[in-house]
Structure 1
Amino acid sequence: MKLLPFILPILNILHYQHCLIMSDIQDLRVRDLACALESSSSFKGEILSAKDGEAFSSLNTPWGIQEAEQPAVVLVPTSAQDVALAVKSAHSKGLTLAIRSGGLMKSQTKGVSLNLKHLDAYSISSDKSQVTLGPGQTWQTVYEKMRDEKFTVLGGRVSFVGVGGYVGGGGLSYLVGQHGLGSDSIIDAEVVLADGRIVHAASDPELLFGLKGAASNFGVITSVTLKTFPKPPVAWSGRLVFPAERFVEIAGAIHNYTSTNEDGRAGILFGSLAPPPDFQPITLVVPVWFGSAAEGEKHFDWLLKLGPLVNQMMEMSYEDLGKLQDSGATPAGVLAAWQTSVVPRVSDEKTAAAALQWQGELVAKDPRFGGTVLLFEPFVKNVFADVDDSTVAWPHKGEHMTVIGLMVLSPDPTLAGVPEALRDGVSRIAAAAPAGVHPQYPNYAFLHGEKAEDYYGANVQKLRLIKKRLDPTNFFKGTVPLA
């Protein structure tokens, strides 16, 4: 014991020398956190900063260039225990964490980024009714793991989307017409709370409720267990291209179809966009039919008779359907911002015309808005009719629903007025929609400063009470903040 006063200064000097290695980290709190985790025998993950070159920078490419804040340090945990240590350490030092699963949405920070890429668990229950997934893998990885199975999960429609963010914010899959949202299928999740506790949502009904659309407000999902569904043996899908000037006409035809269609084997997306390389405006329609080409052609005969300029429809596996939109998806490194309007009925010509007018006025005002995309997705009639909104964070019960996505794309990060433009588009659609609007879709909440009431409607007060219980200091800010 008499030696203790002499040993402690030596240990402090050694710790100081170790921290000099991380001298590129300017924020002393962040440096202290990194040093503490590096010195800990319990933290098994990676700790990266700018000095690590490509290993560091490769983890920080944002999807939207306006989110291109460079973190001071990236923590790459290997387990829920690593995540718990990182969360507890950051919380104690008054730091926030940017949680990155696939990195498609708001996951950048100037402080500490928590990259979940090593959390890639995959296991199937003995009765094959459930699959447990790590949040850090993409849907392409999951689909390939499940390629030889006769069942699947309600995964993403773009293969490079990460599992964690997708299921925690709603989750629109190609099977939504038969089985609902990806978040509806959550059975359980392992979650690290703000105080570092590792809990299971199945043991806390309120947390499970919150994870189904508002997960980023409550903790870090380190694994999620999803219900499985029979995998369609074949899908028929592709792209149909029509002239840009026929957008409202096509919207009207799709309105007439989806107003009565109750066959969950069918789905449809359509939009107005100007894709690369020539950026010429087109009307794009993506029908989906789970069955043979002959069946699909019969079901969508009304659409094919409208005379598309380009017809790329073909049969494919469910796994390949999950990659269909990858080539047309937005590459990382451009200004990319989403906003949605969700209407509680099938979108009609009036709604489509209002959205198209908004798009045209933007481009006329500033040609850099030329990459603006309108994306309409009307769902099968009654697919959400039996949803109990008291069991899911995002209320989506209704006979009809159409998610209308507004996306601004531009290679110029200096393009001003994007948030204002998107919110103006949403308000115009709300004014044009005959039956008003549903709460907006959380997974497309790309703007900062969003109001929780606009996304969670009547559920917002319940969510805030759960937030107060599980995260009273508001450590997790959430994609759509509750506090």
Structure 2
Amino acid sequence: MTTTTSPPVEELRIAGTVLTPATPGYDEARRVWNGAIDRRPAVIARCTTAADVVAAVEFARRNGLPIAVRGGGHSIPGLSVCDDGLVVDLSPMKGIAVDPDARTVTAGAGVVWAELDAATQEHGLAVTGGEISDTGIAGLTLGGGYGWLKRTCGLTCDNLVSAEVVTADGRVVLAGADSHPDLFWALRGGGGNFGVVTRFTYRLHDVGPMLYGGAVVHSAERAADALRFLRDLAPRVPDEVSLMAALVVAPPAPEFPAQLHGEPVVVIGAAYHGSLGDGQEALRPVREFAPPAVDLLGPIPYVALQQMVDAFTPRGLHYHVKSEWLADLPEDVVDGLVAQHLARTSPLSQILVHQMGGALARVPREATAFAYRDAPFVLSVIGAWQPAEPAGPHVAWTRRTWAAAQPASLGASYVNHLDTDDGEERVRAAYGPATYDRLVAVKTAWDPDNTFRLNQNIRPAQTSEGDPS
């Protein structure tokens, strides 16, 4: 339900800042990573404490306002902002406290990965984080979370120790293994369906500060061979190795030779979580696969590895993303992805294939709400284009590229990569029947009115056939 009159904003009293369309800074505050999203909320509550969040949620419920929750603002379909509703903006909640003795870190929901990595690396520690450093910790964790450390440390959500949550009825609860375990289970992969998480505590691991990793770059003629190489090498490497392939257009950056600028290339990214000497040996096949046009493998600070692809996904471009869990990379899929690489409609678009497995696959499927632990690969197709360009051709390319991988599909997408054209059935498929039914039960217990529905929504039982709004 949306409001047809202006809500009584003067009644919303928080320690943070309240913005409306008439307030300076409103337009900047409503912008998100995906520049294709242009929504105008009635109110933005920039919260600094859990009490602020309670006040904002209660205000929205009293006034019939839909609620969007923003952490890092990196939601692909722009679920962190809404039209005519209230945005619970957690971005001011930046507190980070590292306990090196307990090997934990507690961070506010507005923290992004660059900030968390910098704080934990002061102690030679880290937790699995996203590969784009301005992604918020909140959304990534709640959807699962994979990055360079996933094969030794598990998913981000596997390392969640506890979460402070503001519930739909205005309570503040701490969810963990021994406190509200049903809610804790659902938060690890079930997204923002169950409340507003205001604080996360993670288990940390010894990492770096230097790792052996980086990338090698080949011209497009080797794209198919590179994908076959990734397919064949992935099952043979130890858990300490994490691999990916990216079909992209080489930017005019100094590390790329001039003849490659603006040309389609294939990048093989790799990292080794362990000693530099062992990493150099373990990644030798990546360097020796074929003579690379660019060799960027070597000792690299973990924080630099985490920011290695930032320039390829800047804020403000228009994006459309499709994703799929893959059982393999058979020849028809390899050929189809390469064909789409060469037929791209924008030099900004990307085709990414990440190796999975290792530690994340050894966590029992029923332990968390994250479902597809047995997938050996995940495909991400990132359609990206300049704001002045029409969306149609680029969205169509993204869908065609995703379709080319369907012969190897396990039948679902990574929930954090579901986009605007993915309906309720794709949300169900992202979890599988048993996990989805269990999530519905938790949703029904904690948010029976579907107050938190601007997400990859899991409807409570009594509204499963209708729209609660």
Contact 1:91–1:195 under 8 Å retained in 2: no
CA offset at residue 168 of structure 1? 0.8
Match of 1:442 in 2: 415
Q: How many Å separate the matches in 2 of 1:389 and 1:121?
A: 32
Question: Of 390, 397, 402, which residue of structure 2 is paired with 1:414?
Answer: 390
CA deviation digits over 1:298-345, x for unaligned, max 9?
2222221211101122312222222222233x1122111222111134
Is the deviation greater in 348-357 or in 84-93? 348-357
- 2:180 pairs with 1:204: yes
Alignment correspondent of 1:44 = 15
Question: What residue number does 1:128 align with?
Answer: 102
Alignment CA distance shift 1:358-1:465 (3 Å): farther
Question: Aligned equivalents of 2:98 and 2:72: distance in 1?
Answer: 22
Contact 2:324/2:378 (CA < 8 Å) preserved in 1? yes
Equivalent residue number for residue 197 of structure 2 = 221
After TM superposition, give the deviation of residue 76 of structure 1 in Å.
0.4
Counterpart residue number, 1:286: 269
How far apart are residue 360 of structure 1 and its match? 4.5
Letter in 2 for 1:164: A
Query: C-alpha distance in 1, partners of 2:73/2:242?
Result: 27
Deviations 1:210-248 (A, max 9, x none): 111122111111001111112234212223110112111
CA drift of 1:424 comes to 4.6
Letter in 2 for 1:221: V
- Give deviations 1:248-304, integer Å, cap 9, x for gaps: 11111121111222x122111111112444532111111112345554332222221
Letter in 2 for 1:351: V
Among residues 349, 352, 366, which one is paired with 1:372 in the alignment?
349
Provide the rounded CA distance (Å) in 2 between the counterparts of 1:161 and 1:385: 24
Q: Distance in 2 between matches of 1:126 and 1:64?
A: 36
Q: Does 1:312 align with 2:287?
A: no
Q: Which moved more, 1:288-297 or 1:384-393?
A: 288-297
Change (3 A) 1:260 1:314: closer
Query: For residues 412 and 21 of structure 2, what CA distance do their matches in structure 1 show?
Result: 41
Q: Distance in 1 between matches of 2:340 and 2:451?
A: 37
Question: Which residue does the alignment assign to 2:169?
Answer: 195
Structure 1 match to 2:255: none
CA 1:479–1:35 in 2, change beyond 3 Å: closer, same or farther? same
Gaps of 5+ in 1: 1-25
Structure 2 gap ranges (5+):
253-260, 460-469
Partner of 1:31: 7
Partner of 1:18: none
Whether the 8 Å CA contact 1:66–1:335 is kept in 2: the answer is: yes
- Change in Cα spacing, 1:159 to 1:86, as seen in structure 2 (3 Å) is same
Q: Deviations over 1:135-169 (max 9, x none)?
A: 10111111222232132222222211111111111
Structure 2 partner of 1:231: 207
Work out whether 1:63 is the aligned partner of 2:33: yes
In the TM superposition, 1:150-299 aligns within 5 A as: 150-202=124-176, 203-261=179-237, 263-277=238-252, 278-291=261-274, 294-299=277-282
1:350 aligns with 2:315: no
Higher-Rg member (1/2): 1
> Identity over the aligned pairs, expressed in percent?
23
Query: Which TM-score applies when normalising by structure 2?
Result: 0.87
| Structure 1 contact 445–479 (Cα < 8 Å) conserved | no
SS of 2:29's equivalent in the other structure is coil
Normalization by structure 1: what TM-score?
0.85
Aligned length: 439
